[in-house]
Structure 1
Amino acid sequence: MKKIMILGASILQLPAIRKAKDMGLKTIVVDMDKNAIGFKEADVCLYISTIDIDSVVEAAKKYQIDGIITLASDMPMRTIARVAKELNIVGITEDTAFKATNKVSMRTCLKENDVPVPTFYRVKNEEEYKNAIRGFQSKLIVKPADNSGSRGVFLIEDIHDEAVIKYAYEYSRKYSRSGEIIVEDYMEGPEVSVETLSINGEVSVIAITDKLTTGAPRFVEMGHSEPSKLERGIQEQIRDVAKRAVKAIGIENGPSHTEIKVTKDGPKIVEIGARLGGDNITTSLVPLSTGVNMVECCIRIALGEKPDIEQKFHKSSAIRYFDTPVGILKDIEGIEEAKKLDGIKQISFTKNIGDKVGIILSSVDRIGFVIAQDETTEKAIKDCEEAIKRILITVEDK
């Protein structure tokens, strides 16, 4: 029996654990949280941090794993790269892992390879931050160099507002593991993500996903839908930029999730990850719209096998997240009625009755979502919106 190591045992990794077991593989799952939900279904549970590289390498050698993956999580990528190197199994290189998880290195690499990116500055301290601000004439984005899920992202709309400028620096730096942040041009235009799979250096675009965010100043994602509704010519440009970005940072085998803004000057890279897209994009939306099981594909690539990436059908899918008032979650009604609506495939909540519901500052603050499948993207979105209307969420003041 072949053995696959999965970094992470949270709900994000459940699709990988379940699919690996369906494939007859032995699952060796790593997470420092002993209560993580994935441990209930794993064959071997290892209570190790996914970013404790040396300990994970030691465990990988002990269990003589045949492959290693993670879903929708950036930081374990450096661990995966080291394990792949030490055990001589399929995986990204350490150089690629660094470029995929450090936004400064990522942008520098892309710029050097003529892949379009916004104007940006690397900032190590407050003095460099102030100097960087002077290089902009209009709106700009401040973000940590090494985090994800919209954590620490802030838009400065008035570059002369000293109070906002100071707040943005302190807010973003708080979420930076290294203390470094990035100051860059604010790109205006529709945002999409591109889901790709690379096999022996050949990059295949599986889907282009439209995004819906909270907008300024933090841009937390509140919905996704596919296939994209952008015109075909623009989509071809997006495909080209995404493929060039994947090759530039060196992803030879495995997935990539590339976020792109379509500006007046054409598509430009927001970020690129050497992993599957989160927010149920690649675990739910892609299979619902194309029939391609990207989780299984990633497992097969990690094992050195050839995956089936051929599109099985042409449908549409969408996800929409609940937007609720701030307070204490008291009650949720109408879920079963909403599940009976046409097109609805899943309704899930990530918070329980009695939990605190805060302002949506990052993706972890959202309380739940609805997923739908239909004949067109517009219909799938409408299905989600109709289901959300049927669900009554009661939130009381603290």
Structure 2
Amino acid sequence: MTGVLLLEADVSAGEDLLTAAAGLGLDAYAATHEDLFGHYRPELTAKITAPVFTDFSRPETALADLTAFCRKTGIRGIVPCWEFLTPLATRLAAALGLPGHLPARADACRNKRLMAEAFAAHGVPSPRTLTAPDHATLSRRIAAAGLRFPLVVKPAENAASIGVSVVRSADGIPDAARLARSQTHKLPHGIALDTTLLAQEHVDGAEFSVETLVTDGTVHHLTVTEKFTTEGTSRAELGHTVPAELPPAVRDSVYAAATAALTALGLRNGIAHTELKVDPDGHPQVIEVGARPPGDHIMKLVKEALGIDVARACLETVLGRRPDLTPRRRAAAAIRFLTAPEAGTLRWISALPRGEHIIATSLSKMPGDEVGGPQDNMGRLGQIMLRADTAAEANAAAVEALRGVTVDMATRW
């Protein structure tokens, strides 16, 4: 049988991809670290043909290990399931002569410093960005460039809104820089992170993402996702709704901006998740691109709302096939995350709601568990997934569902 290799399948998109592989009659292999495979959930391991072990903290070693494995096993498609493995996936596909992206731009698909440079070089509508090795240099460069506050300060490499803060004045730069540089390696694989500081213009407006398949360089936008985030100094994601309700002209401009970003980054064959903000005048600004399947169960939302099996389409694309991207229905779906109001120990959480629009609920934390605060996506307690005829109905149902959940925390002192 034809084989595909998933780079770190133990993420939210992993189970969807493994299920799709089984439906396509594919052998599905998972690359991870030997110590981590024992912690994979049974529902994942049951769908994996076999694991392959390597050390992702050593990219050159991992590339050599996986190239040899793929040649021996006859792998025909590579999928990076985890954000931090997208450059490796691109280089692995290139080494094997398989469908993938331009290897010369592989690092720019993960490193936000290089990504911002690529956007600027190719005229992608995006926030003006400055970089620096430390907070003092960053402050000087902000002043010299005449950037106005508020600004967004973030690390060159991380995900899930970790290390991101909105800074209202120059006095906030040192604390924001410390937060941005607080992680030097990414667990659980110990991958070294570029701790270069970024300061970006703050874009007022609503936040969205574009879900896309690229086949042989041709861009196929599937939908726009409406995103809900925290306010204030942080930008943790609280939920998503598919599809976003946008005026046709704004949707067209959002798609055009996403296409420009994907082209600048050299995406040729695979799935992409482009995050943007749309200002009050309807002009989009690209924040960043993930050259990997979207997280937070967005693929499930697209399937519920539009009937498009994104996971299946992703696998077909990396195999060099033409996926069927025809919508099967016109509905809406949403997910909302139960988030701790503050860091501490979860004491109690009420029963999760049921109702006409609710299709799934789950808890990721239990009483007694330590929970992070709402400043990034690590403060999540669980989730509620909903479906309705329209996005407005799904959003209203989500508000009502969240009203019925009570969280009791023991605060850290």
TM-score normalised by length of structure 2: 0.89
Shift of 1:210: 1.0
2:375 aligned partner: 361
SS at match of 2:304: helix
- Using the alignment, how far apart are the partners of 1:11 and 1:269 within structure 2? 25
1:97 lines up with 2:102 in the alignment = no
- Using the alignment, how far apart are the partners of 2:135 and 2:394 within structure 1? 46
1:67 aligned partner: 77
1:81 aligned partner: 90
- Using the alignment, how far apart are the partners of 1:380 and 1:75 within structure 2? 32
1:374 aligned partner: 388
- Using the alignment, how far apart are the partners of 2:89 and 2:100 within structure 1? 7
2:20 aligned partner: 19
- Using the alignment, how far apart are the partners of 1:96 and 1:365 within structure 2? 33
Summarize deviations over 1:12-40 as a string: whole Å, max 9, x none. 21111122122211111112212122334
CA 1:11/1:102 → structure 2, altered by over 3 Å: closer, same or farther? closer
Which residue identity is paired with 1:329? L
TM-score normalised by length of structure 1: 0.92
Shift of 1:264: 4.8
2:154 aligned partner: 143
1:175 aligned partner: 183
Summarize deviations over 1:163-182 as a string: whole Å, max 9, x none. x2211111112235122121
1:388 lines up with 2:402 in the alignment = yes
Which residue identity is paired with 2:375? L
Question: Does the CA-based 8 Å contact 2:339-2:379 persist in structure 1?
Answer: no
- Using the alignment, how far apart are the partners of 1:60 and 1:129 within structure 2? 43
SS at match of 2:177: helix
Q: Which aligned pairs between 1:99-248 and structure 2 lie closer than 5 A?
A: 99-134=108-143, 135=145, 136-159=147-170, 161=171, 164-175=172-183, 177-248=193-264
SS at match of 1:257: strand
Unaligned runs of 5+ in 1: none
Which residue identity is paired with 1:15? D
- Using the alignment, how far apart are the partners of 1:175 and 1:107 within structure 2? 21
1:4 aligned partner: 4
Summarize deviations over 1:315-343 as a string: whole Å, max 9, x none. 011111113344322444423xx23x111
SS at match of 1:182: strand
- Using the alignment, how far apart are the partners of 1:30 and 1:364 within structure 2? 24
Cα RMSD (Å): 1.9
Shift of 1:267: 0.9
Question: Does the CA-based 8 Å contact 1:29-1:39 persist in structure 2?
Answer: no
- Using the alignment, how far apart are the partners of 1:289 and 1:130 within structure 2? 45
Question: Does the CA-based 8 Å contact 1:7-1:31 persist in structure 2?
Answer: yes
Q: Which aligned pairs between 1:202-351 and structure 2 lie closer than 5 A?
A: 202-264=218-280, 266-281=283-298, 283-325=299-341, 326-335=343-352, 338-339=353-354, 341-351=355-365
Divergent runs of 4+, >6 A: none
Which residue identity is paired with 1:219? R
Stretch deviating more after TM superposition (201-210 or 3-12) = 3-12
1:30 aligned partner: 31
CA 1:205/1:60 → structure 2, altered by over 3 Å: closer, same or farther? same
- Using the alignment, how far apart are the partners of 1:318 and 1:368 within structure 2? 14
CA 1:181/1:55 → structure 2, altered by over 3 Å: closer, same or farther? farther
Summarize deviations over 1:38-93 as a string: whole Å, max 9, x none. 3343120223344533332232223221111133x321111111211111111112
Stretch deviating more after TM superposition (351-360 or 166-175) = 351-360
1:48 aligned partner: 54
- Using the alignment, how far apart are the partners of 1:11 and 1:115 within structure 2? 30
SS at match of 1:367: strand
- Using the alignment, how far apart are the partners of 1:167 and 1:370 within structure 2? 34
Unaligned runs of 5+ in 2: 185-192
Stretch deviating more after TM superposition (61-70 or 322-331) = 322-331
Summarize deviations over 1:196-251 as a string: whole Å, max 9, x none. 11111111110101111012212011011122123222111111111121112111
| Matched length | 390
Summarize deviations over 1:335-392 as a string: whole Å, max 9, x none. 3xx23x1111111222233211221232122111111110111211222233333344
Q: Percent identity?
A: 26
Question: Does the CA-based 8 Å contact 2:29-2:48 persist in structure 1?
Answer: yes
